[in-house]
Amino acid sequence: MNQTFVKAALFGVALSTLPAHAQDQRTSIPVALVAEDGTTTEADWPLISKDEMTKPWNICVLFPHLKDSYWVAANYGIADEIVRTATSMTLYDAGGYNNLSTQLSQMDNCIAQGFDAIILGAISADGVGALVKKATDAGIPVIDFVNGVNEPSVSGHALVSFYDLAFTTGKYLIEQSGGEPLKVGFFPGPQGAGWSDDAVRGFNDAIAGSPVEVLVTRRGDTGLNVQLDFISNALLTYDDIDWVVGVDIAAEAGAIAVRNAGLIDQVSVAAFDIIPPVYEDIKAGATKASPTDYTALQGRLAVDMALRLLEGQTLAAKRAGPRPIMVTQENLDTIEYTDMFAPKDFSVTFNLTEGK
């Protein structure tokens, strides 16, 4: 067995680490159902009940990393839904977007161990393809979670398009420009990650022909220090940047870098997806805005898709995700915190056996 696989399994956390208000009692999630031609339909996605479970299904969950609060929120949504349905899960963390080989080894071990289903936060939309096909050929449903998978045999997609999220942020910047030139430093995450490549296309499509201009793009791992270095260097090199825009961690780093450079009155920050530090920065006025993809709800949806397929049910759509909205200082108090993020008392949970 792969050493990383064993190490992850040793860090299991019991049910007691879930907060007291866990096992969310919601019965449905507002989603956009995405048809094969790309058209969307708004709907409520009913969540499968505990009483519908014919056995305590065991799900393998594969994450690119757990280095930031985005993936902790994803962990919470999945874990809480596992508890609610009295099923089981084991989560494996590849350690970062540079570790595709680790994720592939972990996934191969999940297949070999005979997990009932796999929820996959893919490091590479194309790089996981062969193992997705191997799993589905073996009768193991694979749910593409958050990041995107291109292999056609994947069983379902529980995600919000990062193209749409970044497009939304691009249109927001056009509004903020007031028709005047606006220059951007863009920090969308690692090249080759499907979600990041989608975000680049979405943002660039949104600002095409507008007064918004990207002066510099820097791409790399979503570690805070990596993004902080990118942004700090860009602010030194390009003294006419008006906005720092990027993935959640880049926005968190951007607020720090702008403050450290003494540019709070000159450079604004926006994200194309949200995590608690970005939420707090919006509340404090250090960051202007970010769309939310309701990360915790995506986790619930991924579990529901997997369980419905295991119970022989037909999904309402092969691809679905919560309906995103733009979060600003004006509306953030109206949005349910735990639909987006993990509760503040939540601890990372790797192992749950029959909801315990």
Residue 7 has pLDDT above 60, yes or no: no
Q: Give the model's pLDDT for residue 3.
A: 32
Contacts of 212 (CB under 8 A, 6+ apart): 170, 173, 174, 177, 182, 184
179: left (phi over 0), alpha (psi -120 to 50) or beta: left
Q: Give the model's pLDDT for residue 15.
A: 36
Which amino acid is it at 164?
Answer: D
Residue 14 has pLDDT above 70, yes or no: no
Q: Give the model's pLDDT for residue 38.
A: 85
pTM: 0.85
The Cα 164–Cα 168 span in angstroms is: 6
Residue 180 has pLDDT above 50, yes or no: yes
The residues that bridge with 89 in the sheet, in sequence order, are 59, 352
> What's the average model confidence in pLDDT over 236-257?
97
The 156-158 sheet, strands edge to edge: 40-46, 28-34, 319-322, 156-158, 142-145, 117-120, 58-63, 88-93, 351-352
> What's the average model confidence in pLDDT over 203-216?
98
The Cα 94–Cα 101 span in angstroms is: 9
Residue 224 has pLDDT above 60, yes or no: yes
Q: Give the model's pLDDT for residue 24.
A: 60
Residue 177: strand, helix, or coil: helix
Question: Model confidence over 292-336: pLDDT tens digits?
Answer: 999 999 999 999 999 999 999 999 999 999 988 999 999 999 999
Cβ(142)–Cβ(117) below 8 Å: yes
Question: Model confidence over 33-55: pLDDT tens digits?
Answer: 999 888 999 999 999 999 999 99
Per-residue burial over 300-313, b if 16 or more Cβ lie within 10 Å, else e, is bbbbbbbbbbbeee
Mean predicted lDDT score pLDDT of the chain: 92
Q: Using the 8-state DSSP alphabet, how is residue 250 labeled?
A: H
Contacts of 136 (CB under 8 A, 6+ apart): 142, 153, 154, 155
